């Protein structure tokens, strides 16, 4: 019987239910967006941390180059500074060199890439690196290193890996990220024309796609070429932006390795991924705090709005409430009816708010992190809980009013 | 037994807002099975008296004793429970819950009282002449005034109260429907219910075995 009354009472006041529900939807969509964003970003950072082959990033001092993990980038290029390619070998000359499993230099440049097959053109990051390079160490030892060594286990490559080259020939091979392949509709074997424009000068090279990389990270948006190609295209002989170092570190002093590298190459900084993660976490924390604040304000506004609507509804229904009481309803049954009504409004509103929050999370994700946000299922119960709480808080005042209504108002014929 | 009278009021007064003496020192004795008709001009305190005996409101002074229980000493919860068990209320305007059907309006009183028994509700509705499926499942807005008032009577009777309190039950009905309702009340009187009935209609009032006249909050009994 209770549910029969509840259902009919709700469907009777569709307008008010809708208004309250919209208020809850708006209120709930904000924590939903917030939680989706922060959980997803946390997860991504965590996942990158786990799967990232490299755990040290070498950058020029006072570096302002875009540093990031995976597809989360939080700072941007302002002033270009470089590391000399000829200095990189020194990384393998430190005391802890045995723990240096591999490293790879990176030179980045935004170029315009044009697919020869269909003429589509896009601005893309062209990344020059070593793939599998043999280096002679001082003792005459040969050391093989490059992205293939440090990253191969989490880059999923369709087609072939490319090889490093000593001289630039007519046919240059490249690997492209999955997103680049999608944007330019490229397949294995297709040709791309990349153009680097400086103020007056324009350099163009033709590349043949031999591999497509899926990493789930920022690599998906890059075109990879041998370092030499990137250097010659952008007139930066012997230069690289960063070096990723993979140190095998089971209980080894990663900080010491970083310090040693810094003393060997005086003009660089070696950051552990942990540090970067912390730095990003700080930014993330600030964003989260801001979102939390907005959430609280939004929820307070929701409580106020819903409370007002429900109070109006109680006033409109006071004869009905008086009647229920006069025919024997105890206060707690009246309270239960109104709490149940607002719980339903709260839960439904919470559900739709959750959905809208997911959409909102995409905007935040794209705006702030340049990445789509994967919806997190765990957010649903949390948001439902919050909406339920909000709707129950909002109904405290109206329910109290309802319980205070005197049964005699019915007989008086108000 | 020393206590006589099924319903008694002792020096009962009700003052609204500290100035309106709606009831002024009323002493009444009503026996079980009585039909008491209450008459009096508008604003004289008839509804106020019913509120007191119907346990909907508490006196400012004095006491109301029903079946040996001094009801004005009960707390809100006990009062609600007492009302639910002992008293059936019929209002001047036939108040029904607008979004429930005729049947559900009766069921809800059972629900608040104890447990819902649809079969019994249908039986009681049949007694007041609401028996078509269509009538049972109609919302109050789709019932005639007489039908609505009969649903109210069914609702008042569903928990088998001893006392029936009716505030101008025919006030809003035409002659024919009024007659149907009065016949029903007459039947209830005959099977032993104690009835308090406010009316403006002298013919109706005379059907009772006691007539109380109220003027300015004071009661004049006339048999
Ligand atoms: N809740 C209230 N607050 C203040 N004054 C009230 C209240 N209820 C009734 N009154 C006043 O008390 C007096 C008695 O009212 P009551 O409703 O008992 O009259 P009544 O005899 O039922 O009249 P009617 O025949 O018009 O229904 C009136 O003067 C009325 O204005
Ligand atoms: Mg009255």
Q: How confident is the model at residue A410 (pLDDT cuts 50, 70, 90)?
A: low
Q: Residue A370: exposed, middle, or buried by beta-carbon count in 10 A (0-12, 13-18, 19+)? A: middle
N- to C-terminal Cα separation, chain A: 27
Residue A152's nearest CA partner among A115, A195, A102 is A102
Please report the pLDDT score of residue A50 as a whole number: 43
Structure tokens at A99: 């723990």
Please report the pLDDT score of residue A152 as a whole number: 61
Structure tokens at B110: 């059972």
Per DSSP, the three-state class of A191 is: strand
pLDDT tens per residue across span A277-309: 555 556 667 777 887 888 899 899 999 999 999
Please report the pLDDT score of residue B212 as a whole number: 92
Residue B2 reports pLDDT greater than 50: no
Say how far apart CA B127 and CA B132 lie, in whole Å. 12
Say how far apart CA A193 and CA A57 lie, in whole Å. 31
Tell me, what DSSP letter sits at residue A166?
S
Say how far apart CA A164 and CA A129 lie, in whole Å. 8
Q: Of all helices (H) and strands (E), which one includes residue B222?
A: strand B218-222
Whole-number Å distance, alpha carbon B46 to ligand 1 midpoint, is: 8
Least confident of A135-139, A250-254, B68-72: A250-254
Please report the pLDDT score of residue A74 as a whole number: 47
Nearest-by-CA chain A residue for B139:
A8
Nearest-by-CA chain A residue for B168:
A411
Cα-to-chain-centroid distance, residue B148: 16
* CA atoms lying within 13 Å on the CB side of residue A409: 15
pLDDT tens per residue across span B122-166: 998 998 888 899 989 999 999 988 899 889 989 988 988 889 999
Q: Which residues are found with C-beta within 5 Å of the ion, ligand 2?
A: B 47
Q: How confident is the model at residue A98 (pLDDT cuts 50, 70, 90)?
A: confident
Residue A391's nearest CA partner among A351, A354, A343, A353 is A343
Please report the pLDDT score of residue A137 as a whole number: 77
Q: What average pLDDT does range A10-35 have in this prediction?
A: 89
Structure tokens at B22: 């709606």
Say how far apart CA A151 and CA A102 lie, in whole Å. 10
pLDDT tens per residue across span A392-409: 999 999 999 998 888 877
pLDDT tens per residue across span B46-63: 989 998 998 888 899 999
Whole-number Å distance, alpha carbon B212 to ligand 2 midpoint, is: 14
Number of A–B residue contacts, CB under 8 Å: 80
Residue B64 backbone phi and psi in degrees, to 5: -125, 125
DSSP assignment of B159-201, as one string? T--SEEEEESTTTTS-HHHHHHHHHHHHHHHHTT-EEEEE-S-
Q: Give strand pairing partners of A193.
A: A114, A206
Q: How confident is the model at residue A154 (pLDDT cuts 50, 70, 90)?
A: low
Residue B58's nearest CA partner among B99, B17, B12 is B12
Please report the pLDDT score of residue A176 as a whole number: 94
Domain extents in chain A: 2-47+282-411, 55-69+76-272
Chain B positions touching A341 (Cβ under 8 A) are: none
Q: What percent of chain A has pLDDT over 70?
A: 86
Winning range, highest mean pLDDT, from A88-92, A170-174, A383-387, B89-93: A383-387
Residue A302 backbone phi and psi in degrees, to 5: -60, -45
Residue A63 reports pLDDT greater than 50: no
Q: How confident is the model at residue A240 (pLDDT cuts 50, 70, 90)?
A: very high
Query: Using an 8 Å Cβ cutoff, are B66 and B53 in contact?
Result: yes
* CA atoms lying within 13 Å on the CB side of residue A338: 31
Residue A173's nearest CA partner among A157, A156, A161, A183 is A161
Rg of chain B (C-alpha set)? 17
Chain B positions touching A9 (Cβ under 8 A) are: 99
In the block, residue with structure tokens 């059972």: B110
- Count how many residues are written for chain A: 414
pLDDT tens per residue across span A171-201: 899 999 999 999 999 999 999 999 998 878 8
Please report the pLDDT score of residue B176 as a whole number: 82
> What homologous superfamily is domain B7-222 in, according to CATH?
P-loop containing nucleotide triphosphate hydrolases (3.40.50.300)
Tell me, what DSSP letter sits at residue A330?
-
Chain B positions touching A320 (Cβ under 8 A) are: 97-98
Mutate which of B15, B17, B18, B20 for ligand 1? The one with the most ligand atoms within 8 Å of its CB, which is B20
ipTM score: 0.87
* CA atoms lying within 13 Å on the CB side of residue B183: 11
Please report the pLDDT score of residue A384 as a whole number: 95
Structure tokens at A365: 């994700």
Per DSSP, the three-state class of B103 is: helix
Say how far apart CA A291 and CA A269 lie, in whole Å. 33
Of B92, B99, B159, nearest to A413 by CB-CB distance is B92
Q: Give strand pairing partners of A111.
A: A124
Q: Who's near B201: CB < 8 A, 6+ residues apart?
A: B170
Say how far apart CA B27 and CA B213 lie, in whole Å. 13
Q: Who's near A159: CB < 8 A, 6+ residues apart?
A: A175, A188, A209, A210, A211, A212
Q: What average pLDDT does range B194-199 have in this prediction?
A: 93
Residue A69 reports pLDDT greater than 70: no
Please report the pLDDT score of residue B76 as a whole number: 84
């Amino acid at each position: 019987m209770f549910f029969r009354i509840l259902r009919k009472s709700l469907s009777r006041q569709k307008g008010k239910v809708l208004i309250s529900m919209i208020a809850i939807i708006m209120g709930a969509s904000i924590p939903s967006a917030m939680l989706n964003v922060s959980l997803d970003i946390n997860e991504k950072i965590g996942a990158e941390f786990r799967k990232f082959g490299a755990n040290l990033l070498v950058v020029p001092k006072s570096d302002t180059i875009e540093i990031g993990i995976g597809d989360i980038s939080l700072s941007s290029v302002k002033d270009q500074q470089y590391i000399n390619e000829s200095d990189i070998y020194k990384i393998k000359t430190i005391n802890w060199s045995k723990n240096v499993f591999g490293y790879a230099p990176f030179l980045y440049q935004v170029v315009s890439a044009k697919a020869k097959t269909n003429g589509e053109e896009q601005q893309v990051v062209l990344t020059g690196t070593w793939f599998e390079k043999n280096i002679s160490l001082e003792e005459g030892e040969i050391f093989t290193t490059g992205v293939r060594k440090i990253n191969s286990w989490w880059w999923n490559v369709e087609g072939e890996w490319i090889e490093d080259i000593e001289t630039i020939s007519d046919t240059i091979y490249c690997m492209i990220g999955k997103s680049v392949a999608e944007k330019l509709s490229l397949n294995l074997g297709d040709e791309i024309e990349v153009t680097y424009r400086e103020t007056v000068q324009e350099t163009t090279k033709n590349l043949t796609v031999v591999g497509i990389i899926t990493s789930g990270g920022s690599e998906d948006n890059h075109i990879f070429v041998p370092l030499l190609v990137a250097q010659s295209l952008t007139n930066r002989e012997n230069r690289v932006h960063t070096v990723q170092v993979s140190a095998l570190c089971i209980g080894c002093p990663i900080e010491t390795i970083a310090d040693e590298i810094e003393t060997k190459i005086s003009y660089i900084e070696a950051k552990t991924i942990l540090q970067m993660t912390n730095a990003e976490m700080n930014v993330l924390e600030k964003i989260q705090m801001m979102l939390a604040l907005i959430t609280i304000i939004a929820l307070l506004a929701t409580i106020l709005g819903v409370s007002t609507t429900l109070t109006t509804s109680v006033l409109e229904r006071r004869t009905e409430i008086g009647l229920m009481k006069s025919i024997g309803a105890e206060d707690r049954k009246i309270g239960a009816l109104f709490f149940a009504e607002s719980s339903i409004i709260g839960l439904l509103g919470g559900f739709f708010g959750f959905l809208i929050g997911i959409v909102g999370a995409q905007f935040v994700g794209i705006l702030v992190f340049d990445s789509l946000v994967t919806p997190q299922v765990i957010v649903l119960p949390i948001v439902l809980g919050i909406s339920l709480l909000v709707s129950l808080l909002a109904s405290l005042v109206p329910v109290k009013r309802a319980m205070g209504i005197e049964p005699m108002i019915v007989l008086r014929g108000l | 037994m020393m206590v006589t009278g099924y319903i008694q009021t002792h020096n009962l007064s009700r003052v609204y807002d500290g100035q309106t003496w709606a009831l002024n020192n009323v002493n009444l004795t009503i026996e079980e099975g009585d039909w008491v008709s209450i008459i009096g001009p508008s604003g004289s305190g008839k509804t106020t008296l019913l509120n007191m005996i119907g346990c909907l409101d508490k006196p400012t002074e004095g006491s109301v004793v029903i079946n040996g229980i001094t009801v004005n000493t009960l707390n809100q919860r006990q009062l609600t429970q007492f009302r639910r068990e002992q008293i059936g209320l019929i209002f001047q305007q036939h108040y029904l819950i607008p979004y429930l059907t005729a049947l559900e309006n009766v069921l809800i009183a059972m629900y608040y009282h104890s447990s819902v028994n649809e079969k019994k509700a249908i039986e009681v509705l049949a007694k007041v002449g609401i028996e078509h499926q269509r009538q049972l499942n109609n919302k109050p807005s789709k019932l005639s005034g007489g039908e609505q008032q009969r649903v109210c009577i069914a609702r008042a009777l569903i928990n088998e109260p001893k006392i029936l309190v009716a505030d101008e039950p025919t006030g809003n009905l035409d002659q024919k429907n009024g007659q149907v309702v009065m016949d029903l009340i007459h039947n209830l009187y005959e099977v032993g219910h104690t009835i308090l009935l406010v009316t403006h209609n002298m013919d109706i009032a005379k059907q009772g075995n006691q007539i109380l006249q109220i003027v300015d909050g004071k009661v004049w009994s006339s048999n």
